[in-house]
Chain A
């Protein structure tokens, strides 16, 4: 039969919606392009809201509702379209010229909200919303933060513009006496803090109830495979958003062999104009420090923050950092994660040779995987040839 009936179109909108609720964002976008009717059903904002909340649980938080609804984002479908693909840095990527209308020269820190989600073993373990870059604004959210000084807004801005760019999601006390981070448990039980005695002799903190064996175990591979982080930056004024993270870690390192503390990098490489930074590139790094202990159900967070470096490794100032973020909001993106990962490989040499060779970078892992794949395919083709000859 040449002319086949289209059953999909025969279904009521309710049933179509029931089907659409089960597909991912990319497929939904694809279905919308198939024909007018599917496009109509696919435009239903509740479908996209569900997808957004499933991908970024932070968007379901009350603070997020306020932040998203007060910006001209135009709907959850636009939010998803902007935030789902990752920043792509490919050879020959050109930044948008400064005169481009989308790029303003001044971005106010209060206009840039952040929605952060962290997944461990496919479960969302942390979701937070920051309404603006608080360090550059008039107040600080962390009561013990070094940024909590009484200054007027001009001084604060001048101070912030010249300090290295940093935006903290969370950060715990640095104990200057021992030189090690004091661990605050996730439930913020401050009493526990002082129970961790310090073995001054060896300089290791003795963590009650945890084996030495456990601290020596290397969780690097596990973190590389199970930890995922998304940091969506939302320009509240213009309604654009971008995911600054790489989802997968770019780097996992154990910071000290017997300490059980891990340093993990996520992030992206943003192309900027030469007048802004040398080499025309900025690395936007999301730094995560956490402690891994067996039987405590996952990482214990010590720090999650965004910092920026240029290609020489020098930190980028606060004011330049804001401009980099401005570029990030308008730069090239890709839904093809493999392409994105390759972009790091060709450029981020730091991610090939970590300074402390204790952990393994994603790039190394990928290299090994590709080598293995090449070997396997070689063997397969050889086998085929033998079979054909027989």
Chain B
């Protein structure tokens, strides 16, 4: 009976535990991933499912493909480990230190093509993983910085849907940013 696992409180300070509870996550394309419950609970969405006692066999995630899910799990594992090794309050998304190895890992983690990056954003949003959402949104924000409107369109493959008159007006409104 899996219900006994839902009443166990997972402590942040828990280090090696031979009886680590596991959960199985199922991607939209039918692949199953077995992970430690504590790692899965990095996702608030999954946490609520488990706490509500609905995690009987597998937790289906129809919005996340296996490719993305495996990356998300990688992220959660890494961050759970890091939180376990040091003070729980030190997590990657609050630390700005460039010497922080987790920051370096995060930077490498988001060096992916746009398709993957945006899928990660959607997954992080759906699974409610704040750290991952912050990281991916910040990456997109950084991709925009300092670019002209045309450069932004090119980077993100945006179609210019302004009429010439509308475009002239919007440009005028925002002229201050370009001078």
Instruction: Number of B interface residues at 8 Å Cβ cutoff, please give it.
Output: 37
Q: How far is the CB of B178 from chain A (nearest CB, A)?
A: 7
Interface range on chain A (Cβ under 8 Å from partner): 35 or more
**Do the beta carbons of B158 and A9 come within 8 Å of each other?**
yes
B16 near A: Cβ within 8 Å?
no
Closest to A78 in B: B173
Q: How far is the CB of B165 from chain A (nearest CB, A)?
A: 13
**Do the beta carbons of B158 and A34 come within 8 Å of each other?**
yes
- The stretch from B21-29, B33-41, B74-82, B132-140 touching chain A is B132-140
CA distance A10 to B46 in the complex (A): 24
- The stretch from B7-15, B54-62, B113-121 touching chain A is B113-121
B48 near A: Cβ within 8 Å?
no
Q: How far is the CB of A47 from chain B (nearest CB, A)?
A: 12
Residues of chain B within 8 A of A70, CB atoms compared: none
A21-40 interface with B by 8 A CB criterion: 22-27, 29-39
**Do the beta carbons of A34 and B152 come within 8 Å of each other?**
yes
**Do the beta carbons of B179 and A336 come within 8 Å of each other?**
yes
Closest to B151 in A: A30
Q: Evaluate whether A8 and B176 lie within 8 angstroms (CB atoms) in the complex, with A31-B149, A35-B162, A36-B161 already known.
A: no
**Do the beta carbons of A25 and B177 come within 8 Å of each other?**
yes
CA distance A26 to B146 in the complex (A): 8
B156 touches which one: A8, A14, A30, A336 (CB < 8 A)?
A8
B18 near A: Cβ within 8 Å?
no
Closest to B166 in A: A36
A-B contact count (CB 8 A): 105
**Do the beta carbons of B177 and A19 come within 8 Å of each other?**
no
**What is the 8 Å Cβ interface bit string for chain A, positions 345-362, against chain B (1 contact, 0 not)?**
000000000000000000
Closest to B171 in A: A33
**Do the beta carbons of B149 and A30 come within 8 Å of each other?**
yes
A220 near B: Cβ within 8 Å?
no
**What is the 8 Å Cβ interface bit string for chain B, positions 139-169, against chain A (1 contact, 0 not)?**
0110011111100110011111110001100
Q: How far is the CB of B59 from chain A (nearest CB, A)?
A: 23
A335 touches which one: B133, B160, B166, B178 (CB < 8 A)?
B178
**What is the 8 Å Cβ interface bit string for chain A, positions 1-25, against chain B (1 contact, 0 not)?**
0001111111110110011101111
Residues of chain B within 8 A of A10, CB atoms compared: 118
**Do the beta carbons of B177 and A30 come within 8 Å of each other?**
yes
A84 near B: Cβ within 8 Å?
yes
Q: How far is the CB of A4 from chain B (nearest CB, A)?
A: 4
**Do the beta carbons of A33 and B167 come within 8 Å of each other?**
yes
**Do the beta carbons of A35 and B158 come within 8 Å of each other?**
yes
Residues of chain B within 8 A of A96, CB atoms compared: none
B153 touches which one: A19, A20, A34 (CB < 8 A)?
A34
A29 touches which one: B114, B158, B162, B177 (CB < 8 A)?
B177
A333 touches which one: B145, B161, B170, B179 (CB < 8 A)?
B179
Closest to A8 in B: B156
B147 touches which one: A27, A35, A334 (CB < 8 A)?
A27
Which of A8, A11, A23, A336 counts the most chain B CB atoms within 10 A? Answer: A8
Q: Evaluate whether A33 and B159 lie within 8 angstroms (CB atoms) in the complex, with A23-B144, A26-B177, A333-B176 already known.
A: no
CA distance A26 to B176 in the complex (A): 8
A287 near B: Cβ within 8 Å?
no
Q: How far is the CB of A7 from chain B (nearest CB, A)?
A: 4
CA distance A272 to B162 in the complex (A): 38
Residues of chain A within 8 A of B121, CB atoms compared: 11, 15
B residues touching A (Cβ–Cβ < 8 Å)? 114-115, 117-118, 121-122, 125, 133, 137-138, 140-141, 144-149, 152-153, 156-162, 166-167, 170-171, 173-174, 176-179
Instruction: Give 12 A-B contacts (CB < 8 Å), ordered by A residue.
Output: A20-B141, A26-B177, A27-B147, A29-B174, A30-B174, A31-B152, A33-B167, A34-B156, A35-B153, A38-B158, A81-B174, A335-B178
Pairs of residues from A and B, 3 with the lowest C-beta to C-beta distance, nearest first? A29-B177, A33-B149, A7-B118
A residues touching B (Cβ–Cβ < 8 Å)? 4-12, 14-15, 18-20, 22-27, 29-39, 81-82, 84-85, 333-336
